[in-house]
Amino acid sequence: MNNVSVVTRQLASPAETQAWGERLGSLLAPGNIVLLDGEMGSGKTTLAKGICAGLGLSSDSVTSPTYTIVHIYPGKIPVHHTDLYRLESLEQLDAFDPEELTPSEGISLIEWPSLIRPQLPEEALLEVGLTTHPDSREVRLEVPEALWSSAWEALAR
């Protein structure tokens, strides 16, 4: 991604990961596409729960869509939560309407995004990388400069 600003933060627990996600969710706008990348168990779905809570949705309804591919959480701003872990090719997404994966009126959360990443518009992408450490996880957020504001800096604190 070109011309991005980066926020990095250490998170000590799943509760802290979810709380950080809530803060992130409160900054999102319709059309944003959030790519959640990290190894198995790094906290992608926990972060998705927080993001949904930050958008005013119940985090209790958020589960990994590994077997259904896409979950849609209705709300003032709908969230389309996609998990591409099981897919091996883009052709496997042919059954999905592109608006189902990246709705212009909602927020997209995409776990395991490497397969679809080249097909997505750079200017709408917020990339979140999660790395696990023995007693914490590190979250790294890349935001296009076109979307950047000082509000994003609060995520680093």
* CATH code of residue 121: 3.40.50.300
**CB under 8 Å to 132, separation ≥6 — which residues?**
38, 39, 41, 42, 43
Amino acid identity for residue 25 in this structure: G
Domain count, the chain: 1
**What range does the domain containing 103 cover?**
4-156
Q: Provide the residue-wise pLDDT of the chain in tens; the chain has 157 residues.
A: 568 888 899 999 999 999 999 999 999 999 999 999 999 989 999 999 999 999 999 888 888 887 788 899 998 999 999 998 888 777 777 777 666 778 788 999 999 999 888 888 888 899 999 999 989 999 999 988 877 777 777 777 7
Q: What tokens were used for 129?
A: 């990388």
| Residue whose tokens read 């998990």 | 83
Q: What is the pTM of this model?
A: 0.90
Q: Are 19 and 154 in contact (CB under 8 A)?
A: no
* Residue 40 backbone phi and psi in degrees, to 5: -55, 130
| Residue whose tokens read 């509760």 | 15
Q: Are 50 and 18 in contact (CB under 8 A)?
A: yes
